[in-house]
Structure 1
Amino acid sequence: MTDQRPQYGELATPEEQRRAAGLPPLGEIPPVPPMMQLSAPEPVAQAPNPGRSRPVDRFVTIGLLAYGLVNVVITGLSYLDLPTVMNESMKILGIDGEFSNFAQGKLWGTIAAALLVIGWALTAALAIKRLRRGKVAWWVPLVGAVVTMAVVSACIAVPMFNDPAFMAYLEQMSGG
């Protein structure tokens, strides 16, 4: 004699399938809260909504990044003509003579301008990443500016310390 009963799920209705699986009928299932529908099997810590939880941090961070961007554009463009910037700086400091280390000035000015842009971009990316995760981010643009300016200042120092007029000024200041 052959077993003519259908296999599990083969011809059974959804209600029969649920009953055979030991589940309650569909009408008796309480609705699932929207937050639980997409949750993982293990509890996951929910990040606070950064738009509501830290509006002042968000405002300050974005304000600092905007200020930094304006600064990067203006300063970066001036660094592309570093010999002119060095001449003006030497006049302001009262240094006799003119900046004459043009080749290094152009090279290191271009490098400094590029590093300004890269430094700002990395700073902005890190700050935005922290904002999206709901973490405090106002300090990121400040630290990014300090680190970037330290590197850029080292780049600017190379042609400056290799300029004869500037070195003569330093020797005069040291009494030597």
Structure 2
Amino acid sequence: MLLAYGLVTVIMSAISYLDVASVMNESMRMLGIDGEFTNYGQGKIWGVVAGIVLIVGWMLTAAMSVLRLRSGRLTWWVPVAGAVVFTLLAAAALTVPMFGDPAFAAYLSRAAGS
């Protein structure tokens, strides 16, 4: 069940990362940042990277789960650990275009100056 839920989540996330500008705009809105995401070049590249990280991560997690199941060992924790690891890696990929965005940089400089 965890792998099935993870697959749906990975597919939906990977599709949304193809339009990373809307994802970043929503993130900036939730953080209370004025302005819009304009770092489209890096956003497109790193959005694809984040999507690939999630897809490959799910495939590795599923393969490891199947191998552990076949050997009769506990497997429930593998999808949980895989979700944490690969979600963090995808999030790290998405921070690259976010930190390169002028509106986010201005927000950080205001926050550091306060």
Pick the TM interval, shorter chain: over 0.9
Match in the other structure for 2:101? 163
Mapped to 1, the partners of 2:31 and 2:76 lie a distance apart of 35
- Show structure 1 runs of 5+ residues with no match: 1-62
SS at match of 2:75: coil
* Inter-partner Cα distance in structure 1 for 2:84 and 2:30: 24
Aligned to 2:78: 140
SS of residue paired to 2:35: coil
2:32 is aligned to 94
Give 1:85's aligned residue: 23
Distance in 1, Cα, partners of 2:93 & 2:50: 6
Partner of 1:16: none
What TM-score do you get using the length of structure 1 for normalisation? 0.63
1:15-94 equivalence runs, <5 A: 63-94=1-32
- Greater mean alpha carbon deviation, residues 146-155 or residues 157-166: 146-155
TM-score by length of 2: 0.95
Alpha-carbon distance between aligned partners in 2 of 1:171 and 1:70, rounded to the nearest angstrom: 38
Cα distance per residue 1:66-105 (max 9 Å; x no partner): 1111110111100011011101111222211110000000
Q: Which has the higher contact order (CA 8 A, sep 6+)?
A: 2
5+ residue gaps, structure 2, are none
Q: Provide the rounded CA distance (Å) in 1 between the counterparts of 2:26 and 2:47.
A: 15
2:65 corresponds to: 127
Determine the C-alpha separation between the residues in 2 that align with 1:120 and 1:139. 14
CA displacement, residues 85-130 of structure 1 (integer Å, 9 cap, x when unaligned): 1011112222111100000000000011011000000000000110
User: 2: CA distance between counterparts of 1:109 and 1:151?
Assistant: 12
Identity of aligned residues (%): 56
Picking from 52, 67, 91, the partner of 1:114 is: 52
Which residue type is aligned with residue 80 of structure 1? L
Q: Tell me how far apart the structure 2 counterparts of residues 158 and 130 of structure 1 sit (CA, whole Å).
A: 35
* CA radius of gyration, larger in: 1
